[in-house]
Amino acid sequence: MRRRRAPRTALALLLVVGALGLTGCEVAEPDQWRFDGDPLLQADEDLASITDAWREHLQATDRLRIVPESAACYFTIEAPRTVTDQVACGPALAADGRTVFERARIGSFYERDGKVALGLIEAPQKAFTPIPRDEAGTPVAADGTLIVTDEDVTPPALPGLATGRVERLPSSPTDLELMGTIMDDTLAQDEGRRQLPVSESTVVASFAVADPAHDSAIRWAAPAGTHLVVVSVMPYLGVAALAQKDLTVTIRPGASAEPVVVDLAAPPPDDGTGAASSSDAAPSTGPSDGGASSDGGGASDARGAGADPGDLLLTMSEVDPATGEVIAVSGPALARYVMAVPDGEHARLELTDGVHHAGASSEPGDATSDFPRVHQVMSYGAHDLFPDSTAADSSAPNPGATGASGSLTVSASGTVHEPETEGGPRALSLPFEVFSSETSVYPGPVSWIDGGTPTAVYTSIDAELTDVELTVDQQPVPTAIDTHQAPSQDSSTARAGLLAAELPSATDGIIELTGTVRVTLSAPHQIDPAVATTVPPTTVLELPVTETFLVDESTTEGPRAW
């Protein structure tokens, strides 16, 4: 049995078995190995496939910080020749700084000429579990080589992050978990979370002292006399939608530094080298500030290319209150920045539209905004159409029934603006839409049923909001309905009108709304032109709208995105 000691360099490791006491261990040659009593068909190919699966799995986790290029998966042998049902993959540097392996179970999947091929018995995302290196058993390469070393895997020296720089961090597989933490309303101000009403939304900012040893996205060290701070920015509408608000966003990495203008909607870097996020006010001084080279020396960042961008994109549909136009904006849901802040100073985030300002810092309790407070109000109701049906809960038309069949949903999503002057009225803006749907999510046409059989679908829909009565604390409030809105680009959706009203400021916030949406279905498309049926060119339906909104101080922090 061959045994080789790896060079004494942390990033040239192949296997750490120093704690296993293999001096007297004898392992048979590979052609004598047995798995459940059977010889192996293709040990080298099997281990290569398992190693590929392991490394691919690492792209979607932050569990390991550093994985040397030479790290791989190995069989574990029970002397002298039994291949166990577990492989050991590594070595690697865990997020907590320990040198570890990862374990996975294997099994035989097919045999040829009495020999078996081996592979993982679970999907990679479930198969691998970190273990201390002294629990890795007796790992052996496919050619029978035992590689012994007493070196730990250590991270490369990081360059210092120059003071005054603000670096955008790449997406991370843990960003989704971080987003949930940031959105947690139970977090207190002194835990680094700040809420800022900003331009019909709420920006949630998180300030946290950073440690590169526990965040693989951070590839800089704090120079002497400074500490790293990560500022995470999470608008409820998503950063791309907020970018449509024509805001200037700056981050000041300490009271003694100049503010740096950042573009929240810019895509994050995918390699951790930092985005071009420094403004002219704080010119770039290069990625290092007296630090060592960031060359990994053969090591790879286990985080890989980062999180799946699809997981971190947020698409918001907004309605322009002036035109009624629906705007869909997609972009990153979270933006993270790292900076070196002088000890004793605080990082600060500021947003302004030129008139109003909002700001927060890592100093406990520091969060201010003079943007008008905005409440979100929503109405949503599905109306199922069952022709000639006498049962309200029927899920299908009666046999022989005739009429429109399907589902129409009336939805409205708008805002109530707090007055900018004390005692002034609150402004309600509530655009209504109607869309046909097979379910509450996926659009689908409304059918015409003739004798219980669908014979046509209506391909055009129009809607009008009428007979609206609005009360605040049981007192009537005058309303205005603007029906001259740009038509929807989606034929299965119609804009019914923009409801506007001035609500009294002295209110407990209970708004009651009743009305009717008159829907006209037209342009029927015959399902089978060969079947002669009579389909009305238009069908008019009246859908009731009844909604109660509660607007109080608990909702003045802005609308939620989900």
In sequence order, what are the residues at sequence separation of 6 or more whose Cβ sits closer than 8 angstroms to the Cβ of residue 344? none
Band of pLDDT at residue 372, cut at 50, 70 and 90: confident
Is residue 80 reached through a cis peptide bond, with omega within 30 degrees of 0 on the bond before it?
yes
The predicted structure's pLDDT at residue 227: 95
Q: What share of the chain is helix, strand, coil (3-state, %, to 5)?
A: 10, 45, 45
- Please give the DSSP secondary-structure letter assigned to residue 289: S
- Reduce the DSSP state of residue 396 to 3 states and report it: coil
**In angstroms, rounded to a whole number, what is the distance separating the alpha carbons of residues 66 and 90?**
10
**In angstroms, rounded to a whole number, what is the distance separating the alpha carbons of residues 181 and 159?**
29
Identify the weakest region by mean pLDDT among 182-186, 294-298, 533-537: 294-298
**In angstroms, rounded to a whole number, what is the distance separating the alpha carbons of residues 422 and 431?**
26
Residue with tokens 């409205």: 412
Cβ-contact 100, 119 below 8 angstroms? no
The predicted structure's pLDDT at residue 274: 37
- Reduce the DSSP state of residue 204 to 3 states and report it: strand
Cβ-contact 397, 406 below 8 angstroms? no
**In angstroms, rounded to a whole number, what is the distance separating the alpha carbons of residues 193 and 367?**
9
Band of pLDDT at residue 142, cut at 50, 70 and 90: very high
**In angstroms, rounded to a whole number, what is the distance separating the alpha carbons of residues 339 and 109?**
51
**In angstroms, rounded to a whole number, what is the distance separating the alpha carbons of residues 215 and 320?**
40
Task: Give residue-wise pLDDT tens across range 102-135.
Answer: 999 999 988 899 999 999 999 888 899 998 888 8
In sequence order, what are the residues at sequence separation of 6 or more whose Cβ sits closer than 8 angstroms to the Cβ of residue 371? 196, 197, 198, 199, 353, 356, 357, 358
**In angstroms, rounded to a whole number, what is the distance separating the alpha carbons of residues 29 and 517?**
81
Task: Give residue-wise pLDDT tens across range 167-210.
Answer: 998 876 555 556 656 555 554 444 677 888 787 677 888 898 98
Query: If you average pLDDT over residues 295-306, what whole number do you get?
Result: 41
Give the DSSP H/E element, type plus range, for residue 124.
helix 124-127
Query: If you average pLDDT over residues 534-546, what whole number do you get?
Result: 90
Identify the weakest region by mean pLDDT among 105-114, 330-339, 387-396: 387-396
- Reduce the DSSP state of residue 93 to 3 states and report it: strand
Q: Residue 21, by phi and psi: left (phi above 0), alpha (psi -120 to 50) or beta?
A: left
- Whole-prediction pTM value? 0.56
The predicted structure's pLDDT at residue 459: 86
Cite the beta strand spans of 326-402 per DSSP E.
326-332, 335-342, 347-352, 357-361, 367-369, 374-385
**In angstroms, rounded to a whole number, what is the distance separating the alpha carbons of residues 129 and 373?**
48
Check pLDDT > 60 for residue 18.
no
The predicted structure's pLDDT at residue 275: 35
- Reduce the DSSP state of residue 20 to 3 states and report it: helix
The predicted structure's pLDDT at residue 181: 60
**In angstroms, rounded to a whole number, what is the distance separating the alpha carbons of residues 553 and 375?**
9
Work out the mean pLDDT of the chain and round it to a whole number: 75
Give the DSSP H/E element, type plus range, for residue 52.
helix 43-58
Q: Residue type at 150?
A: D
Burial of 242 (0-12, 13-18, 19+ CB in 10 A): buried
CA separation, residue 271 to residues 57, 169, 170, 219, 301 (Å): 18, 9, 7, 10, 10
The predicted structure's pLDDT at residue 325: 53
Q: In what order do the strands lie in the sheet with 193-198?
A: 167-168, 335-342, 226-235, 201-209, 193-198
Query: If you average pLDDT over residues 346-361, what whole number do you get?
Result: 93
What residues form DSSP beta bridges with 389?
Answer: none
Nearest CA among 424, 443, 422, 447 for reference residue 434: 443
Cβ-contact 117, 41 below 8 angstroms? yes
Q: Which domains does the chain have, with CATH numbers?
A: 39-151 (no CATH), 165-265+320-361 (2.60.40), 378-386+404-443+452-561 (no CATH)
Which comes out higher in pLDDT, residue 537 or 380?
537
Check pLDDT > 80 for residue 65.
no
Q: How many CB atoms lie within 10 A of CB 181?
A: 14
**In angstroms, rounded to a whole number, what is the distance separating the alpha carbons of residues 373 and 319?**
18
Report residue 464 as tokens: 């009008």
**In angstroms, rounded to a whole number, what is the distance separating the alpha carbons of residues 416 and 423?**
15
The predicted structure's pLDDT at residue 220: 92
- Reduce the DSSP state of residue 202 to 3 states and report it: strand
Residue with tokens 């791989």: 72
**In angstroms, rounded to a whole number, what is the distance separating the alpha carbons of residues 529 and 526?**
6
Number of residues written out for the chain:
562
- Please give the DSSP secondary-structure letter assigned to residue 144: S
**In angstroms, rounded to a whole number, what is the distance separating the alpha carbons of residues 306 and 271?**
8
Give the DSSP H/E element, type plus range, for residue 319.
strand 313-319
Strands 480-482 and 493-503, bridge-based pairing: antiparallel
Query: If you average pLDDT over residues 476-499, what whole number do you get?
Result: 82
* HSE-up of residue 464 (Cα within 13 Å, Cβ side): 9
Band of pLDDT at residue 308, cut at 50, 70 and 90: very low
Cβ-contact 479, 501 below 8 angstroms? yes
Q: Residue type at 359?
A: G
Band of pLDDT at residue 281, cut at 50, 70 and 90: very low
Cα-to-chain-centroid distance, residue 135: 35
Burial of 114 (0-12, 13-18, 19+ CB in 10 A): exposed
